[in-house]
Structure 1
Amino acid sequence: MCGITGIAWTAREKNISPRILRRMTDVLSHRGPDDSGGYHSDMPGKSFLLNDPNTTADFQPVSDIGAALGHRRLSIIDLGTGHQPLSNEDGSVWIAFNGEIYNYQELRKELIQQGHQFKTESDTEVIVHLYEEQGAACVERLRGMFAFAIWDERRQRLFLARDRIGQKPLFYRETADSLSFASELKSLLQLPDAGRTVDPHAIDLFLAYQYVPHPWSILKGYQKLPPAHLAIYEEGKLTVERYWKPPYEHPASNPQFPFKTSQQWSDALRETLTESVKIRMRSDVPLGAFLSGGIDSTIIAGLMQSMSDRPVHTFSIGFPVKQFDERSYAREAAKMLGTDHHEYVVEPEALEMLPRLAWHYDEPFADSSAIPTMYLSQVTRQEVTVSLSGDGGDELFAGYDRYRAVALSQWFDRLPTVMRKMMTASIWQKLPASVEQKSFRRRVKRFLAGLAVPPERRYLKWVGIFDTERRHEMYAPEFREQLNTFDADQFLLDAYQLCPDRDFVTRTTATDVLTYLPCDILTKVDIASMAHSLECRSPFLDHHVAELAAAMPLNLKMHKGRGKQILTDTFSDLLPESIQTRKKMGFGVPLNHWFRNELKPLLFDVLMSQRARDRQIFNPAAVEQLISEHLKLQWDHSARLWSLLVLEMWFQTFLDPASIPDHFPETVLT
């Protein structure tokens, strides 16, 4: 796993020196601590070591059109000869690659038969030769997780691509005369002309979703390449296009999956997921698995163990607060599977973690499970370099509890108008309920409140932290005017339109696959794992598994309101009975408790500070009301307060300093 960065230019003044390229690359050192390299079209020999002071000095630009590529490497495969950037035989095609191509051995054999000569054993070189054969269509043959940049000297073309599901990130910035790109936004901020103007629309999106969705970025002028998209920059023009989408058309119309019985679907799932795990166990470094004790991670660990001649290393963490501690389930799974299990107890230090999260995530990111994911990655990296995970199982196989609410709401939509009006009457919102956000009465009130709006917007109202009305009440008048008629819901509504013909629950799971999974779950895991130079592989996210799940009928996934039924049935031999029937537990932290205790001073010191007020984004009285209601046990606003806190910490980390730091302070990383 690696970090990539670079730029292509069509005007000489945008030609960057190797010294600047080194700055852009060094800020990604956590993603690749083992090696660094550069390519520059104006440099003799083109390729050079970025840690060599003789090749990173300032220089006089020569070419009007050219490119520079930077790379930081975490060595996983071909430890000795996998240095990047890497080229084809004649040096006309260069690549900087982040990710893993799991079918590279099969592609390599095919390309050798076609006459290509290889100088390494790496999966990276396969992409170069495949590009020579097929051009941009090469991405359709790749099976894995990836973000890469290819500079084609003959065509003077920069080619960017991102994997189908969105496991690997890729930011870019287009100007009149250049296109720059990087694995993380902080790398692009090292360019001399980097702008740092916040996009008001991005703030509105962040508060709606807890993340800034693609293609937006928190800063104006910067974008994220969406999953399953490629981009070509040629003659000063950028084109972006989608090359894949999960086949959520009705199963009866999909000849790729002609299955008629549940057993046929189950057999196909067993075969496809087993093979997906098998090819992800290819590694030249120590390999293990995250094991939470949930269905998904237990299946992955179990399949790994069935294909290993020695105990697989598995890892879990727990917390002193019981409702956030899954160690007993992970321990039971490890015992049944026979893994070499490692478990750790941590006491999250939010005061220490907040600035660290702000630095590593580049953009405001308010999923608080990033905290335990950071800790889990840290302890896992002490033993192994690669870890497999169960990410994707919930979205692909209808595992979230909220899908039951979606199914129930379809029954409501078929009721007579009079009954629907009665159930959505405002009187129900005035009934008393527990302060706890996840209490039964709170959930009922939230469910009924959502029924009054169309199904697609209803779903966002249920899963969002700040709905549209609450956001606009929070904003200062001047900031609200900047939003004009912008509709943050449209990101979700557009995703629903990519799956128009299935039942609404399946459409909702498809929407999560296209939005929540890449923007939240996979961003969280990529940044947390790469912060500790750990590669995380997700067998459920193999596109063969994803395509199978997309075509699968809902009744196989959800039975009597319970999701992931086909997973439980198909892999029952790997799952302890208690895990098959256990209630889903989120991977979270006790924010509610923290904000009424340890973090209480932080709410006032940060959110009510003069510095925060001067940004003129929020109405201070509205923020103060959130804090007051939470502290007085009138409402659980912990998720909302965390979002506001994360946003302000991002401002202080990336905009308030006179310059962006080159690395995260070591005192916080210890």
Structure 2
Amino acid sequence: MCGITGAVWLPNSPPVDSADFDRMTDTLAHRGPDGRGVYRDDFDDGSGVLLGHRRLSIIDLGGGAQPMCNEDESVWISFNGEIYNYRELRPGLEQQGHRFRTNSDTETIVHLYEQYGDDFVTHLRGMFAIAIWDKRRRRLVLARDRLGQKPLVYCHQADRLLFASEIKAIKAISHVPLRIRNQAVDEYLTYGYIPHPGTIYDSIQKLPPAHIAVFESGRLTTSCYWNPELCPDETASTLELQEQLTCVLSDSVRLRMRSDVPLGAFLSGGIDSTIITGLMQKHAAQPTNTYTIGFPVDEFDETEYAHAAAEYLKTNHCAMEVTPNSLDLLEKLVWLFDEPYSDSSAVPTYYLSQMTRQHVKVSLTGDGGDELFAGYDRYQTVDRLRYFDRLPRPMKALLTGPWRYLIPGGGQKTVRQRLKHRLDILREPADQRYAQWLTGFPPSRRDSLYRPEFRDQVSADASLSFVANLMRRSSSLTPGMQAMRTDLRSYLPCDLLSKVDITSMAHGLECRSPFLDHHVVELAGRFSFAALSQPGKIKPMLTQTFLEMIPPSLRRRPKMGFSVPLDRWFRDDLKGFAREMLMSSDAFCHSFFEPSAVESILHEHQAGHWGHGDRIWSLLFLELWGRNT
């Protein structure tokens, strides 16, 4: 894994200054502490190109430096990620006349582009953000992996294109307009992240997962190269699919264990990470190194489960208990994420990555298992809503009527809070329900929070449309399966994978996710929802398929989120800081929000009327981001 940067400009555009570009590239030093490289080419007509690279060396430590070119220097590449099947691709390319000078996966991509053009990306099995400069055609090609494990952002101005692994690198270039996009603030409060292709800034975009972009003659075009059906296979038996899953996931783990540096695995004691670790043990000559962190708060501590899994699988296990310095870390996360992001599981992921990097440079993870194999309770709940839709209209009106306001309250994150929110969701159109389910700030809450002049500039429906449109794309499936497919294209890349990439790369740690091999994803899509999700059972299909790898004590343990005690923090440690930041006279968030509405959220939380920890974290992250921008 690495950090990449680049710039292409046309004859009538001023060249990008080399000092500016060096600063742009070195902004990503945390992603690539092992080396740097820059390629520059200025043409006679005044146009030019720059490619930059910060390297975290994993494969071919001596020969994999970038930017890299082909034999005649007509094709150049700057690449972030790993191509796991590069060894399998190489013999075919050699038979077609290509000559290799290194043992790196990077050089394989160069020759694939020479051989197949833009279709090169369909041959890759891995995670990647790729920039290829075709010198003869003066053509830039950008590509992002199928699931969005590696980030890639760009800024297209009239006569030039800037791109990088992170927004902060583009901001290092002079004269880049950085106007906040108001709709992005509403999107952020809706989901806790800003969905692709947008960012917090009008001028900067994210290249979506499974997309390729071409910049040629000043024109930028994007296209999707992978869009699997992911529909249940009625012709195959469950046993046949389980046998295929065993082989495909095992092969995915084997490929991701290729490394010229030490590697290990995150092990939480959950089903997903335990299975990945068990498969690693089968392929490894020595016990796998596994890593877990714990917190001094029982309901957020998984070390007991991780220890049970490690003992059962006989791994070389390392666990550490941490007491988060929540204030210092929050400010670090604001700098790392570049834009508002409110998933507090970034806190334990940051600490886990920090500890793991002290021992290894690569770690396998269980990310993707929940989205592929129905690991969230919400999938079952959403699936049952189809029965609600069959009820007569008077019955629906009765269930969602004014009586819902009479549900008794009291306590933290009460039954009332959850039940009222879910009853409100039933009143929404079917295609918007799941988007409403996911939101931390329902439209009514956001509406009361906004200043009138800001409210007039944003649209709740526009924010909800990101998920609603994805739900409609799979409307032929059951609601539960629709939600799974939607999460695979939204929550997974925009929230979870973004978090893992940013927090791990902050420490120079590469995370690899075997569940996210596209062969595994396509196979998982063939299982029926009934096979994947059964009342009272946790990922039954996955558990049954790999039963021998899971300790009996963990097979039916309740799912435990990787989270932190926000409600407690904002009643204790962060109480004063949150109020000071959010209620100061010069608060950044007051540009968007009514101070009295923010005060109401803080008061309700302190009084114990509602559990607003997640919402206060969201507001505080936005406030600190604004103060540091």
Which interval holds the TM-score relative to the shorter structure?
Answer: over 0.9
Instruction: Trace 1:163-242 onto structure 2 (pairs within 5 A).
Output: 163-242=145-224
Offset at residue 614 of structure 1 (A): 7.5
- The answer to whether 1:81 aligns with 2:63 is yes
Of 417, 420, 428, 2:393 maps to 417
**Who is 1:249 aligned against?**
231
Hey, what's the Cα distance between the residues in 1 that align with 2:325 and 2:456? 38
**Who is 2:512 aligned against?**
537
- The answer to whether 1:601 aligns with 2:576 is yes
The one-letter code of the counterpart of 1:382 is: Q
- The answer to whether 1:348 aligns with 2:330 is no
Offset at residue 402 of structure 1 (A): 1.0
Offset at residue 548 of structure 1 (A): 0.8
Of 571, 584, 588, 2:546 maps to 571
CA deviation string 1:136-194 (max 9, x = no partner) = 11010000000010010001000000000000000000000011100000000011111
SS in 1 for 2:462: coil
Offset at residue 436 of structure 1 (A): 2.5
Instruction: Trace 1:57-136 onto structure 2 (pairs within 5 A).
Output: 63-136=45-118
Instruction: Trace 1:309-388 onto structure 2 (pairs within 5 A).
Output: 309-388=285-364
Whether the 8 Å CA contact 2:434–2:468 is kept in 1: the answer is no
Whether the 8 Å CA contact 1:248–1:502 is kept in 2: the answer is no
TM-score by length of 1: 0.92
Offset at residue 334 of structure 1 (A): 0.2
SS in 2 for 1:98: strand
Hey, what's the Cα distance between the residues in 2 that align with 1:62 and 1:197? 34
- The answer to whether 1:461 aligns with 2:436 is yes
Hey, what's the Cα distance between the residues in 2 that align with 1:429 and 1:394? 33
Stretches of structure 1 that go unaligned for 5 or more consecutive residues are 43-60, 253-257, 655-670
Hey, what's the Cα distance between the residues in 2 that align with 1:11 and 1:476? 45
**Who is 1:140 aligned against?**
122
Hey, what's the Cα distance between the residues in 2 that align with 1:17 and 1:448? 57
TM-score by length of 2: 0.98
CA deviation string 1:309-345 (max 9, x = no partner) = 1110000011001000011000000000000000010
Hey, what's the Cα distance between the residues in 2 that align with 1:485 and 1:296? 35
Offset at residue 465 of structure 1 (A): 0.4
**Who is 2:136 aligned against?**
154
Offset at residue 565 of structure 1 (A): 1.1
Hey, what's the Cα distance between the residues in 2 that align with 1:613 and 1:187? 23
Of 495, 499, 502, 2:474 maps to 499
Q: CA RMSD in A?
A: 1.4
Hey, what's the Cα distance between the residues in 1 that align with 2:619 and 2:145? 31
Residues 263/485 of structure 1: CA separation in 2 closer, same or farther (3 Å cut): closer
The one-letter code of the counterpart of 2:14 is: K
Instruction: Trace 1:268-287 onto structure 2 (pairs within 5 A).
Output: 268-287=244-263
Offset at residue 487 of structure 1 (A): 1.7
SS in 2 for 1:316: strand
Whether the 8 Å CA contact 2:474–2:485 is kept in 1: the answer is yes
Offset at residue 297 of structure 1 (A): 0.4
CA deviation string 1:192-251 (max 9, x = no partner) = 111221000111100100001100010111100000000000000000111112322352
Hey, what's the Cα distance between the residues in 1 that align with 2:599 and 2:16? 47
**Who is 1:407 aligned against?**
383
Whether the 8 Å CA contact 1:365–1:646 is kept in 2: the answer is yes
SS in 1 for 2:103: coil
Hey, what's the Cα distance between the residues in 1 that align with 2:513 and 2:36? 26
Offset at residue 486 of structure 1 (A): 5.9
Whether the 8 Å CA contact 1:246–1:546 is kept in 2: the answer is no
Offset at residue 68 of structure 1 (A): 0.3
The one-letter code of the counterpart of 1:119 is: R
Hey, what's the Cα distance between the residues in 2 that align with 1:3 and 1:113? 32
SS in 1 for 2:269: coil
Hey, what's the Cα distance between the residues in 2 that align with 1:554 and 1:485? 31
Hey, what's the Cα distance between the residues in 1 that align with 2:577 and 2:259? 44
**Who is 2:447 aligned against?**
472
Hey, what's the Cα distance between the residues in 1 that align with 2:231 and 2:345? 33
Identity %: 50
Hey, what's the Cα distance between the residues in 2 that align with 1:486 and 1:567? 36
Hey, what's the Cα distance between the residues in 1 that align with 2:332 and 2:239? 48
Whether the 8 Å CA contact 2:98–2:111 is kept in 1: the answer is yes
Hey, what's the Cα distance between the residues in 2 that align with 1:103 and 1:611? 53
Hey, what's the Cα distance between the residues in 2 that align with 1:578 and 1:434? 35
Residues 572/604 of structure 1: CA separation in 2 closer, same or farther (3 Å cut): same
- The answer to whether 1:624 aligns with 2:599 is yes
Residues 614/296 of structure 1: CA separation in 2 closer, same or farther (3 Å cut): closer
Hey, what's the Cα distance between the residues in 2 that align with 1:399 and 1:522? 16
Residues 484/372 of structure 1: CA separation in 2 closer, same or farther (3 Å cut): closer
Stretches of structure 2 that go unaligned for 5 or more consecutive residues are none
Hey, what's the Cα distance between the residues in 1 that align with 2:392 and 2:376? 29
- The answer to whether 1:35 aligns with 2:35 is yes
Hey, what's the Cα distance between the residues in 1 that align with 2:488 and 2:601? 32
Of 394, 418, 430, 2:370 maps to 394
The alignment covers a number of residue pairs equal to 629
Structure 1 segments (4+ residues) deviating >6 Å: none
